[in-house]
Amino acid sequence: MSAKVNLYEAKTKLSSLVDRAAAGEEIVIAKGGKPKARLVALEQPKKPLRVPGGDKGKIWIAPDFDDPLPDDILEAFEGKDDPR
Question: What pLDDT does residue 1 have?
Answer: 62
Domains in the chain, start-ordered, CATH in brackets? 2-39 (3.40.1620)
pLDDT, one tens digit per residue, over 9-35 is 999 999 999 999 999 999 999 999 999
Q: What is the DSSP letter of 1?
A: -
- Rounded CA separation 18/3 (Å): 12
- When pLDDT is cut at 50, 70 and 90, the band that residue 47 belongs to is confident
Q: Is 28 exposed, middle or buried (0-12, 13-18, 19+ CB in 10 A)?
A: middle
In this model, does residue 80 exceed pLDDT 80?
no
* Average pLDDT of span 47-61: 82
CA distances from 44 to 15, 64, 75 (A): 20, 42, 52
On whether the pTM is more than 0.85, the answer is no
In this model, does residue 50 exceed pLDDT 90?
no
- Rounded CA separation 80/6 (Å): 77
